[in-house]
Amino acid sequence: MDRMISESWNLPSQFETTWNGLNVTAEQSFLDANWDKKCTDQFTHFEPVLSSNLGFSNDFALRELIGKLSIVNSGGLPATPDGAAAAMAVATNDDSTKSSCYSTPSNSSPKLHFPILDQINMRHLGNSLPLTPPLPALSCDPGFAERAAKFSCFGSRSFNGRTSPFGSINAMENFNLNRVSSSPSLKQAGSPVENKNLNQSQTEFRSLGGMVDKKWNKLSGAGAYSDEASSVSEQIPSGELGSKTPNEHNSRKRKAISKGKAKENTSTSAKGFEDYNNPKTKRSKPQEISKNENDDVKAEEEAKLNPNGAEDESEKQKENQKPPEPPKDYIHVRARRGQATDSHSLAERVRREKISERMKFLQDLVPGCNKVTGKALMLDEIINYVQLLQHRVEFLSMKLASVNTRLDFDMENLHSKDIFQEKGNLPQQMYPLHSSASVFYNHQSQQNIQLNDAHISRGPLNQYSMDPLDAHNPGIQLSSIDGFGESLTQFPAFSGHDLQSIIQMGFDKDPVKETAFHSDSFHVPNQTSHMKVEL
């Protein structure tokens, strides 16, 4: 199959005419195709057909294609293959083919032919403009229109590529734009699928545009047998194009080809296909297959060699949204100039780059990491931050546990803004744990942590004689007194037992946590004991 396809690419002229004809008719006539998902599904039926057929000579391939199409779809839409066949027959201007075309379809609807012919006559080959309003005759045949729309996708790509000067990116860009914008039907149904395919095929197209290497042909040819129907169609004309155009876009092509390959689940990894797993991280711009690495490192390349970053970046982002790629066996990395090329250093470089990539993400997350450079320092910051967050969780859970000993909240008095009032009272930084804890409890009581620490051993009664709570807010005091009174009756052993357990817990833990617990744990029993005193 591969060989056949590559050979077929050596017959450009015939192929070109037929494809042009096909394209013209497709574009003109089949604009109103409704691209529902069915169309994609239908096309997947054709995919093996297509791939097998393209091994033959071009005219023949087309005819076979049409024939098979008609056969496959003969059940549903008898009229449609006629139109397609007629169109193509007209385009090829081959009487013999006409007969063969017409022989295959089951029915014939002559009235379909004329509008098509008219359309064809009106257009000229150099037309790469957006499609015109649909033909009324064709609107009765949605299936036909679908297939034809697929054909237009099929043909116009190659067509456009060919009209523009070889390898000029601009043409391809235009083509891309036209492609995307010109067919509103494309956008309607299944458009996300289509657009995705478009993007894929765009990259593939560009990538394959410069190919001369037989190996690459084989790759793309093999790639034609992927699951993606439209990518199949794209690759065939683009591959054909590649055989003609010079190697103008090697770099871009290679990037794209590896991306294209990434999408296709090729099993021929032995030949040197690149796959990518883990769409979350950015995929690197692939390099030429300089060597095969036999260590099955399931890694992604992060080396950004290629200066043409922008477009591929965006496409990579799009691709990153897709479901994860199948795991790959080989990484293909190109050695940079002046660097060692043995496999281990390459693998190491890949690994290093991945790590640095992820460190960049971490830099965004961890505050204050921007100024820090170097792995060790960054790791330091990260460790500190994780520890900080973990301690905060502990602290907050303790606080919430203590909060709940207070009274029930009257729902009517709760306003949303109060609930969503931001953590004005809570400190942001908890590095100085003592001071933070004191700030935290500040608006309730203005005790210092030192007080807590100092007096806890002496017993709870002493410090509360001058309790700043009185001065601060009598309302709270009253309510909390009530609350604590109630809670005390419920949990008679609250203060004593809790106090003991808290102190013990504080001493059991490691020093860092211990400080945290000292500060908040001491406060709580103080409150209860305070309440006790008041009562």
Partner 1 sequence: MKARTGYSTSLKQEFLKKWIKGIRIYSNFKKDMNILERKKAIKLSADLAIASTRNASTRWSRTLTANISKNETNKLFVEQIFSDSEVIKKEAPSRLMARSNRIASKKIWRRSHITQIKARKMGPYAVKASSIAKKLVKNRTKVLKSLVPGGENMDGISLIKETLDYIVSLRVQVDVMRRLASAAENSTRLGLSSKCSVHWLQGIFTVLDHWCAMVH
- Site residues for partner 1, window 279-338 (CB under 8 A)? 299
What gap in Å lies between CA 119 and CA 102, rounded to an integer? 20
Tell the smallest beta-carbon distance from residue 404 to partner 1 (Å): 4
Count of residues that interact with partner 1, criterion CB under 8 A = 76
Tell the smallest beta-carbon distance from residue 465 to partner 1 (Å): 23
Cβ proximity of 81 and 104 under 8 Å: yes
Selected binder of partner 1 within 117, 169, 359, 439 (CB under 8 A): 359
Told to check if 498 binds partner 1 by CB under 8 A, we report yes
Tell the smallest beta-carbon distance from residue 414 to partner 1 (Å): 5
Told to check if 247 binds partner 1 by CB under 8 A, we report no
What gap in Å lies between CA 207 and CA 251, rounded to an integer? 8
Told to check if 399 binds partner 1 by CB under 8 A, we report yes
E strand residue ranges, 202-267: none
Judged by CB under 8 A, the stretch of 33-41, 104-112, 393-401, 507-515 that binds partner 1 is 393-401
Binders of partner 1 among residues 366 to 385 (CB under 8 A) are 366, 375-376, 379-380, 382-383, 385
What gap in Å lies between CA 191 and CA 300, rounded to an integer? 29
**Tokens 């096909």 sit on residue:** 22
What gap in Å lies between CA 253 and CA 205, rounded to an integer? 8
Q: Which is nearer to partner 1, 267 or 421 (CB)?
A: 421
Binders of partner 1 among residues 148 to 167 (CB under 8 A) are none
What gap in Å lies between CA 418 and CA 431, rounded to an integer? 27
Q: Which is nearer to partner 1, 57 or 473 (CB)?
A: 473
Told to check if 403 binds partner 1 by CB under 8 A, we report yes
Binding mask 405-444 for partner 1 (x = CB under 8 A): xxxxxxx-xx-x-xxxxxxxxx----------------xx
Q: Which is nearer to partner 1, 74 or 473 (CB)?
A: 473
Tell the smallest beta-carbon distance from residue 57 to partner 1 (Å): 51
Binders of partner 1 among residues 466 to 495 (CB under 8 A) are 473, 475-476, 478-480, 482-483, 486-487, 490-491, 493-494
What gap in Å lies between CA 225 and CA 265, rounded to an integer? 9
Query: DSSP string spanning 507-525?
Result: HHS-HHHHHHHHHHHHHHH
Nearest to 297, CA basis, from 336, 344, 254, 334: 344
Cβ proximity of 230 and 197 under 8 Å: yes
Which structure tokens are listed for 216?
Answer: 């690459």
Q: Which is nearer to partner 1, 377 or 533 (CB)?
A: 377
Which structure tokens are listed for 290?
Answer: 């300089």
Burial bucket for residue 166 (CB in 10 Å: 0-12, 13-18, 19+):
middle
Please tell me what DSSP assigns to residue 138: G
Residue type, 158: S
Tell the smallest beta-carbon distance from residue 495 to partner 1 (Å): 10
Told to check if 341 binds partner 1 by CB under 8 A, we report no
